[in-house]
Amino acid sequence: MVEVLWLRWVLTVPFVATGVHCLARCWVEGVRRRALRGPTAWLVEVTHLAMSAAMIAMAWVGVGWDRTGVQAALFLLLGGGFAARAALGPATPGTRTELGHEVVMAAAMTWMLLRMADHAGHHGPHESHAGGGGWESTGLPDALTVVLLVLLAGAAAVWALRLVAALRVPQGRALLGRAGVVGSHLLMSAGMAAATVTLL
């Protein structure tokens, strides 16, 4: 759980927006218009919805209720699926980039869930920091967190550029079209990057 109230809201707003957008896309584009082509398109929307819900839950209640690590295992599985699709599936370079972004976000979700569960399992304020023994004292967890933070921040920058490009084209400005999808990816990346900072 994020202790600072204003930071909880800062993290909550973008994930509420992305969650609502994913629900709208699933209903309007998927069910009514049947415009979501193939299982990968559906999986991306459902994964983003699950990520949005999980991030909001982490910000407000933490991960103490999920003692078996089901969430972390789910996102790890999803990340592996997206990685396999990018590596083996018939995809364009642009599609592979987007699938790579899904892999990074799934990895970040898995890592955040594991780290928050690890912190919740320590009762002393400094047991999980350097000098407390174990792999924490090697600095490896913080290094992995920084790597994910850099990747998420880079992804947010790429999506910001794509959003500008989408808004320049009249047919690309639809909220449930290209601009909306790119904007949702941007919010997701930026929100997850901000959440990752809280692990340092």
Q: What b/e string do you get for 42-52 counting C-beta neighbours within 10 Å, with b at 16 or more?
A: ebbbebbbbbb
- Spell out the per-residue pLDDT of the chain, length 200, in tens: 678 888 899 999 999 999 999 999 999 988 998 888 788 889 999 999 999 999 999 888 877 666 778 889 999 999 999 999 888 876 677 788 889 999 999 999 999 998 887 766 554 444 444 444 455 656 788 899 999 999 999 999 999 999 999 898 877 778 888 899 999 999 999 999 999 988 87
Say what the pLDDT of residue 108 is.
95
How many CB atoms neighbour CB 6 within 10 A?
A: 8
Say what the pLDDT of residue 136 is.
63
Per-domain residue ranges of the chain: 5-197
Say what the pLDDT of residue 184 is.
93
C-alpha to C-alpha distances, 124 to 101, 111, 119, nearest whole angstrom: 36, 21, 10
Say what the pLDDT of residue 129 is.
44
C-alpha to C-alpha distances, 35 to 19, 28, 32, 42, 43, nearest whole angstrom: 19, 9, 8, 10, 14
Say what the pLDDT of residue 111 is.
92
